[in-house]
């Protein structure tokens, strides 16, 4: 039986992860409007990954016999001051998600919910990768700027990320 506090936080995290997907898809739409299709591809792939993350928590709760309580997903922003402002917002969002995961981890430790540790360990590692990717995007865009040949080349690089990759497929829950 899952602890009530951890149960509540995990349900909230499902909503947080779905919001992340919604936010990144909004960013993809923004980048399309900015004629940056490579950035749009990258953030679409990121949106898909966040939905997969939500299902990891969803399946964990199902396996534990816990009720799923989906929360409302707020409307994400649809516009940013610049491409740099958008990728900086993505980095700040990933830092918030890291803090959310850490809060759940602390609650699981506090309540001796050892059964949640494996999934939380996975998410702690995943957030290291997420923040690293977001930081890299910010650093590269700061280096090349919001205009010109450098932005064009970075857009091409961002577009190389597959939307449906083996990496994403490996994270899809199978049960």
* Calpha distance 91→85 (Å, rounded): 10
* pLDDT score at 166: 52
pLDDT, position 1:
83
Sign of CA dihedral 26, 156, 83, 129: positive
Give the CATH architecture of domain 4-171: Up-down Bundle (1.20)
Give the closest residue to 82 by CA, choosing from 42, 33, 43.
Answer: 33
SS3 of 73, please?
coil
Specify whether the CB–CB gap between 78 and 32 falls below 8 A. no
Compute the 3-state secondary structure of the chain and give helix, strand, coil in percent, each to the nearest 5. Answer: 75, 0, 25
- What is the rounded CA–CA span in Å between residue 23 and residue 112? 33
What pLDDT shows up at residue 162?
81
3-state secondary structure at position 79 = coil
Which residue ranges in the chain fall short of pLDDT 50? 168-175
Domain segments of the chain: what residues?
A: 4-171
- pLDDT of the residue at 175: 39
Please state, in angstroms and rounded to a whole number, the distance separating the CA atoms of residues 24 and 156.
18
- Predicted TM-score (pTM) of the model is 0.90
């Amino acid at each position: 039986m899952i602890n009530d506090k951890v149960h509540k936080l995990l349900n909230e995290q499902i909503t947080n992860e779905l919001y992340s997907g919604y936010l990144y898809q909004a960013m993809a739409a923004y980048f399309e409007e900015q004629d940056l299709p490579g950035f749009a591809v990258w953030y679409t792939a990121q949106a898909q990954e966040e939905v997969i993350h939500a299902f990891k928590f969803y399946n964990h709760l199902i396996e534990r016999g816990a009720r799923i309580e989906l929360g409302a997903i707020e409307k994400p922003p649809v516009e940013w001051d610049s491409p740099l402002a958008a990728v900086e917002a993505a980095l700040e969002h990933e830092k918030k998600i890291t803090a959310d995961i850490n809060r759940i981890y602390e609650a699981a430790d506090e309540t001796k919910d050892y059964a949640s540790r494996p999934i939380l360990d996975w998410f702690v590692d995943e957030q290291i990768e997420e923040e690293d990717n977001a930081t890299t995007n910010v650093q590269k865009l700061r280096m090349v700027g919001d205009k010109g040949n450098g932005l064009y080349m970075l857009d091409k690089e961002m577009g190389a990320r597959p939307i449906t990759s083996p990496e994403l497929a490996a994270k899809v829950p199978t049960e």
